[in-house]
Amino acid sequence: MSLASSPTRDYLEYGVRVSASDFKQAFVNLEPGDKVLVEGPRGHFILNPERDTVLIAGGIGITPLKGMAEYASDTQLDIPIRLIYSNRTADEIAYQDELDTLVESNPQFEVMHTLTREPEASEWMGRRGRVDRSLVEAVANELEAPVFYLCGTPEMVRGLWDILQLMGVPPERIMYEQFWGYTG
């Protein structure tokens, strides 16, 4: 479970991909007013407000990156932020409306969707295929030494790390969060 909202918001929002696990089912069954224990914040997966940024998410890995995009918009950061968001199909795109609103409200924020298993007969007119080096290079093309934030399955994060290394991105400009135990 990841925090999905910006610290500029007056609420906490969490995002999870629902599964049959006891933890996820308990989460789904929460009702307004139920008490929960929240610890934290913890970690170092935090947006650098002074650096050009590329966010790359796979599936529910969008959760913390959405919060970063909200923060940039809410505080009117003067840095370009580009999001590459990969999903299997169009109906799996989480936070579609929120991302569209952020694009409309923040001229510095752009989103590139790519779908890996969208049926050919669908009405999807956007990009298809996995996130690859050519897509990352195209999105980061005009940015000045951007920081890359990666969030998704361990396999996706490892693959993107390798791509960024081949592109010559130094490790100090690569931040990542891996969703261990994620089964898609």
For residue 41, the model assigns a pLDDT of: 72
**Whole-angstrom Cα distance, residue 114 to residue 129?**
6
For residue 154, the model assigns a pLDDT of: 92
pLDDT tens for residues 110-159? 999 999 999 999 999 999 999 999 999 999 999 999 999 999 999 999 99
For residue 49, the model assigns a pLDDT of: 96
List the domain boundaries for the chain: 2-178
> Is the pLDDT reported for residue 183 higher than 80?
no
Where helices occur in the chain by DSSP H, the ranges are: 22-28, 62-74, 96-105, 133-140, 154-166
pLDDT tens for residues 31-49? 888 998 888 777 788 999 9
For residue 158, the model assigns a pLDDT of: 96
Cα dihedral across residues 118, 121, 126, 131: positive or negative: positive
Whole-model pTM? 0.90
- Strand partners of residue 111: 83
> Is the pLDDT reported for residue 14 higher than 90?
no
Is the distance from CB of 1 to CB of 15 less than 8 angstroms? Answer: yes
pLDDT tens for residues 45-103? 899 999 999 999 999 999 999 999 999 999 999 999 999 999 999 999 999 999 999 99
What's the whole-number mean pLDDT along residues 162-184?
85
Please report which confidence band the pLDDT of residue 179 belongs to, taking 50, 70 and 90 as the band edges: low
> Is the pLDDT reported for residue 181 higher than 70?
no
For residue 150, the model assigns a pLDDT of: 97
Q: For the chain, how many residues are written?
A: 184
For residue 26, CA distances in Å to 31, 144, 156 come to 10, 44, 28
Q: Does domain 2-178 have CATH number 2.170.270.10?
A: no
Residue 54 phi/psi, 5° resolution? -120, 120
75: number of Cβ within 10 Å: 13
- Report how far apart the first and last C-alpha atoms of the chain are (Å, whole number): 14
**Whole-angstrom Cα distance, residue 60 to residue 94?**
7
